[in-house]
């Protein structure tokens, strides 16, 4: 069992999209940040997993990003090969944004396959992308990924308060990033989430902070902003987040 940091959690970061993956892993270890290194294609899994196996704080997740499915759907065969070795699955999900909607049927096919296979394998923890598709993602989780077969974590959840309530009732978790706290409507939705389902993330390097790509250590600022929004003390909140992670990992 790896050490779960009492400090910070970055439950969704593309460490392999920074210029130097090995250095990014060392940085997480140096700072003691529990980091989920999500991948966008299963071809990236071996190297991410190799480095994660030698790391105290970094875990690799096996993914096939919905935005890449149109070009890479056949890589699902490679994803299948690595599934036995992967406890964490991501980035996976659906994207109905204008650029990706054309291939939505194919995305659904691939996502259904991933959910079914993960449920069959059992004990998997999923990091899910759900741009403009929360309702369909929830329907598909209900159909293909029963709650007793693993855990789903919504990454950058953009749904409504009602959808959030439905996800929470299904046992889902939510990893919160700083962009989600920017506008009032989303901040209100985040504040409506059950405290015992919250985690933090950066989605680095896709999010910018002070004109540079965000890094896992920047979750510190997300924790303090989230604490402010919730009316809690930062240390208190971080203790709760660490506890949530422990519960999730022990499930
Ligand atoms: Mn991402």
Tell me what pLDDT residue 2 has. 52
Given a cut of 50, is residue 216 above it in pLDDT?
A: yes
Helices (H) and strands (E) in the chain, counts: 10, 10
Given a cut of 90, is residue 7 above it in pLDDT?
A: no
The candidate with the shortest Cα–Cα distance to 34, out of 53, 14, 6, is 6
Tell me what pLDDT residue 5 has. 45
Distance 240 CA to ligand 1 centre (A): 24
* Rounded average pLDDT over 218-223: 96
Distance 250 CA to ligand 1 centre (A): 24
Query: Please, are residues 193 and 166 in contact by the beta-carbon 8 Å criterion?
Result: no
Distance 194 CA to ligand 1 centre (A): 23
Distance 39 CA to ligand 1 centre (A): 8
Distance 152 CA to ligand 1 centre (A): 15
pLDDT digits (tens, 9 = 90+) for 31-78: 999 999 999 999 999 999 999 999 999 999 999 999 999 999 999 999
* Rounded average pLDDT over 95-113: 97
Tell me what pLDDT residue 231 has. 97
Distance 169 CA to ligand 1 centre (A): 24
36 Ramachandran zone, left/alpha/beta (phi>0; psi -120 to 50): beta
Distance from C-alpha of 19 to C-alpha of 42, rounded to nearest angstrom: 19
Determine phi and psi for 62, rounding to 5 degrees: -90, 115
Beta strands in the chain, from DSSP E residues, in sequence order: 9-13, 34-37, 58-62, 88-95, 124-131, 150-155, 173-176, 198-200, 208-209, 212-213
6 pLDDT band, cuts 50/70/90, is low
Tell me what pLDDT residue 171 has. 98
pTM of the model: 0.96
pLDDT digits (tens, 9 = 90+) for 110-153: 999 999 999 999 999 999 999 999 999 999 999 999 999 999 99
Distance 95 CA to ligand 1 centre (A): 12
Distance from C-alpha of 66 to C-alpha of 63, rounded to nearest angstrom: 9
């Amino acid at each position: 069992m790896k050490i779960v940091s009492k400090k910070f959690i970055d439950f969704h970061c593309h460490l392999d999209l920074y210029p130097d993956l090995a250095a990014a892993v060392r940085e997480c270890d140096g700072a003691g940040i529990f980091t989920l290194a999500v991948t966008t294609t299963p071809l990236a899994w071996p190297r991410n997993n190799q480095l994660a196996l030698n790391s105290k704080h970094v875990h690799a997740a096996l993914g096939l990003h919905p935005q890449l499915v149109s070009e890479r759907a056949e890589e699902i065969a490679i994803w299948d090969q690595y599934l036995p070795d992967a406890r964490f699955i991501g980035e996976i999900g659906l994207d109905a944004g204008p650029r990706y909607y054309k291939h939505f049927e194919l995305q659904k096919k691939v996502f259904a396959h991933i959910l079914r296979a993960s449920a069959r394998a059992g004990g998997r923890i999923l990091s899910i992308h759900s741009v403009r598709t929360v309702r369909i993602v929830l329907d598909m989780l209900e159909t293909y990924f029963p709650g007793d077969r693993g855990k789903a974590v919504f990454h950058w959840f953009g749904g409504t308060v009602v959808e959030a309530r439905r996800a929470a009732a299904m046992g889902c978790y939510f990893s919160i990033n700083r962009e989600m706290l920017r506008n009032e409507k989303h901040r209100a939705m985040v504040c409506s989430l059950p405290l015992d389902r919250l985690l933090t993330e950066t989605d680095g390097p896709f999010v910018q902070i002070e004109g540079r790509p965000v890094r896992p250590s920047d979750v510190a600022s997300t924790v303090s902003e989230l604490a402010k929004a919730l009316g809690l003390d930062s240390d208190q909140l971080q203790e709760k987040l660490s506890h949530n992670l422990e519960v999730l990992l022990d499930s």
